[in-house]
Structure 1
């Protein structure tokens, strides 16, 4: 195991910056998930650590040692890719043995290592098979085993489940979650799937536009997003985010949602220009005096719950608003529905998109460029970033 540190990392391809001024600390034995949309730089960061790409600026350190100029072999880092990359003419046992043979490891020790990894990953019944005789999930476990058999200092996983169908992806995700506490290897796991991030990460680093947005535990990211990007990226459906319209004085304030004014029992923080409300913050159908009347535009009946969509002209990027209701609610597009939003669950953001609520777990320090007006286009390319996030 090793402590991994990225210090002031910058990387560009053909003049296009893909990682900008990134600092990140991964503790020994920690499972860190790198989460973000395609093109945000998360896979590039993994390749920089593996030595497959050269660092232009900054330092990468393993246990305090700068490894910028070391070859991939010298870094003792193992990587699992999306496409398994198994040798089709070799059995599972031979695939696992290959990296150990290349190292010149003696047969007895090599066999002991193979048996240990096979036992951990549940591969013992499959050791005599070739990849063509394995399912997609079994192939992925073999790919993981071939990386782990080397006993690497750092284990890298680059969207390892993206080629699997939804059902198998869920199964393997659960298997990896079970294995996580047994592997005890410093791991960086790249994904664009928030379910994987929430399930597998001890901490999650959210990236956008090559910039680190927030680093924290999965539930803290969900409950206390540092900015509007994180708020919108985590959650399915995502957080409802909209421009704030307020009226009245303290103690008698009202806020507007879907063209209607509702009582606001709390005073918003100074400088709030945008707000967010999770879909689960709605209850209904409601008969409360100050409830919200909406025309239903879309319905997703999922059995255990119903997702109801309606319009708010203040919604960011024109996205429909979503409410998560119990499965027994019967509603159809075109119906008028009465909902009761819980204003005490509002998240508040300033014009730059930064969260205004006080964090209860102040692990990370954030900065925001001054005087940057908010727009949906500029925010997704914004320069909000984490400057320091020590592991505690």
Structure 2
């Protein structure tokens, strides 16, 4: 029996199955309709119609794409990328969720809910301990266990506010977008930055996919020609747009801003995004720049036990044990009490039915995710009513969880 006939679930005239390469036209059609992308918009990127048609083929080859079909017509779908993310210096498997879409005539039938549930089961089977997504509806994804874990700070700098030149020993060089040094800098950066995604070939393809021909990459090299940072940007209508800025040390940071400031006579403003969770204004001599902060990515722990075993708690005393009572609306394997203790500095996590476990901390899967990812601290979550525990446990939790907000700059 062909894959196309392998139905995972049936509901009346609706049938759920994985999409194949034969479904490319329907896949593209639903994406364009749901996300309001016209052919004219895509042609502005410089692509031909044939290139646009096949641009998403790698997704059907390399990702898990699940859909509901109504009499053979694609009605609703979800895409899960197999990715990796840095969680406090531990590289973990991550399921990147995207392409969640339904034609309007099929809404209200629970199709998305069932697809999300199946996707979570798939991610658990694949050992993806956490999932990340960019939400088109924060309330929808909160219902399914995701929570905000990162911010995007958009900034606008006038040409008169650009920093003065700093003395550095290296220099910037414009390079091809496929330059190996650029890829290596991001690899090194993401390996040492909590929350950063480890970009493989598919992730880089998504990163560049719809960029127009005027996108430029420049790398900062030390005096020994060691790549220490890069800048992805374009200039349009007298505005310098920063797509991404990555630097490994202060020298590279200064060198990149020297390069941006060298465009003083060409632009009126510099616009870009900062994903560190901290405002940039303090770093400028003229700090009266415009910054706008908004929630960016959401995440949900897929498997509580496996995630906790991998998690780098700061205190690993054999005298300490805590218990998390977790409520998960979708993944039943996450419901219950998880006893955590340390044996020779190794984290042990065992599921228990003991309702009277010592040092009990009760929360839902969303709260556990945002707390362990470092986006919100335990005391804040307790004061918001998101955590139920004895007050003395807050000090223990604050000592256990590393203090660093996630840096997530990707989009898929």
TM-score, length-scaled by structure 1: 0.27
Q: TM-score, normalised by structure 2?
A: 0.26
